[in-house]
Structures are given as structure tokens and as C-alpha cells.
Structure 1
Amino acid sequence: MGSAYNANYFRWFEIGRTELLRSLGLTYKAIETKGLFLPVSEAFCKYIAPVIYDDILQIETALDTRIKGGMKFDYTIFSEGGEKILAKGYTKHACVDHNGRVVRPPEFLVKLITSHATPS
């Protein structure tokens, strides 16, 4: 078929999310060391144009600060150079402890979100 498998878009979202957190000075490993986990509770992708195998992509990721009980990341996948939007989507994440119980986002995470994010 020549185009990328649809589930790969969610892998690219994960890469964008991981790199955004890293750019803010926080890694998933550091979050989990504090006993907090961020499982995906909802995911959406609008496929606008196909990604062809071997295309080079640009992923834009933003934190949505309007979410109170967890985190929401918005994504736009562009073709190389950013001239064409290929997909848009989001993921929502619950905050859970090591037992899988939903918890309020801890203060360090709230501060990170409010100081570095721009509302969508």
C-alpha cells in the first residue's frame, strides 16, 4: 500500500509527548520514580493525508492547560518542513499511583503544566 499503518500515528504522538516533557526538564522515568503514572485514558487521531513510508515527519506537541484531573496533549503531524498537515490528534492521561488508583496531579506536575503550557 505504501502508506504507514494507522496505529503508528499514536507511536508518533508518544514520541512527541515524551520529547515535550523532556524539553521541560521532566522524563517519564522521573515521574514514575515519584510514584506517579500517566496512562492514556483517551486517544484520538484525525488522518488528513497519508504518511508514505520513508517520509520524514515533524511532530508539534502542546499541553492543554484546561484539563484539571490529568493531562491532555494535542498533536499535529506535518510533512518534512512543515508545509503540509498530515494528522491532528490528542491524548488524555489520568494520574494514577503505583496501585492504579486515580490521584490528583501532584504539585510539581501542576506547576510544570501551568508554567510551560499554552491553552489550545
Structure 2
Amino acid sequence: MFAHETKIRIRYAETDKMGYVYYGNYASFYEVARNEMLRSTGITYKDLEDMGIMMPVTDLVCKYHQPARYDDLITIKVYIKERPMVRIQFEYEIYNQNGVLLNTGYTQLVFVDMEKNRPCRAPQIFQEKMEPFF
């Protein structure tokens, strides 16, 4: 299993009239954490695109437990629990600065060869980076 944490401070613009983080922003938080997790491996999403690989999201599940609020410092924990092949699933847990679980969810992405516009295996270099965790 591969795990990574990212912290984000909630900006006022991310909240709604009730003072809670607008529900649609959680997908953006997932994306930030997912990209930072990839970056931590030494391969960025841009690197993958430069290799001719794109990774569209095919599934998004988001469960709200407690609201995040303006100026909260949230921690997004991201996990890859299964070896990436053609698909890769990222699981998320979001906590506030007090350690309260706010949100859980997952996204599934597929590796796509940009030239052929067809699903493909994860690039060899990425598989090598993931190997020690599985």
C-alpha cells in the first residue's frame, strides 16, 4: 500500500453561505492530493502526459461526515491499496486540524495512451516506483 498526506488551508472562496466548504470543492481537494502523491514518487502528472499517457477519472465517490470550514487546515490522506495496472484507485480521508474525520472517498482513473486513445498499462517507470509498496 502506498500512502501520502497533503495539507490545504480552506480559503473563504471555497465556502458557501452557511460557512461550510462547498461540496463540489472536495473533488478539487482530491485532485490536489492525488497530484502531490504522484509528485512524491518522482513522477508528475505532467511527466506522464509528456510520455503520452493521460489519466481520466472514471469513478468518483465522496462521502461527507462533518463540514470543513473557512480557515481550517485540512489533511488529505491518500492511499493506493492495489497495484496499479490499467486502472488506479486513489482512496481519500480528509481530517481537520483537530483530527476529526470530515470526508472519505475514492477516485478511479485509467491510464490512456494519448496517441491511440485507448486504455493501456501504467508506464514501466511508474510501475517500478510502485513496486516496493505492493
Task: State the TM bucket, normalised to the shorter chain.
Answer: 0.7 to 0.9
Q: What is the alpha-carbon distance in structure 2 between the residues aligned to residue 25 and residue 67 of structure 1?
A: 16
* Structure 1: tracts of 5 or more residues without a match: none
For residue 93 of structure 2, give the secondary structure of its aligned residue in structure 1. strand
Correspondence for 1:92 = 108
Normalised to the residue count of structure 2, the TM-score between the two structures is 0.79
Correspondence for 2:3 = none
Normalised to the residue count of structure 1, the TM-score between the two structures is 0.87
Q: Is the 8 A contact 1:64 1:71 kept in 2?
A: no
Q: What is the alpha-carbon distance in structure 2 between the residues aligned to residue 51 and residue 113 of structure 1?
A: 32
**How far did 1:56 drift?**
1.4
For residue 22 of structure 2, give the secondary structure of its aligned residue in structure 1. coil
Q: Is the 8 A contact 2:52 2:113 kept in 1?
A: yes
Correspondence for 1:54 = 71
Could you tell me the percent identity over the aligned residues? 34
* Structure 2: tracts of 5 or more residues without a match: 1-17
Q: What is the alpha-carbon distance in structure 2 between the residues aligned to residue 17 and residue 35 of structure 1?
A: 19
Q: Is the 8 A contact 2:84 2:122 kept in 1?
A: no
Q: Is the 8 A contact 2:86 2:119 kept in 1?
A: no
**How far did 1:62 drift?**
1.3
Cα deviation per residue 1:9-43 (whole Å; 9 max; x = unaligned)? 11111111111111111111111100011111101
C-alpha RMSD over aligned residues: 1.6
**How far did 1:63 drift?**
1.3
Q: What is the alpha-carbon distance in structure 2 between the residues aligned to residue 72 and residue 89 of structure 1?
A: 10
Q: Would you say how many aligned residue pairs link Structure 1 and Structure 2? A: 116
Letter of the 1:87 counterpart: N
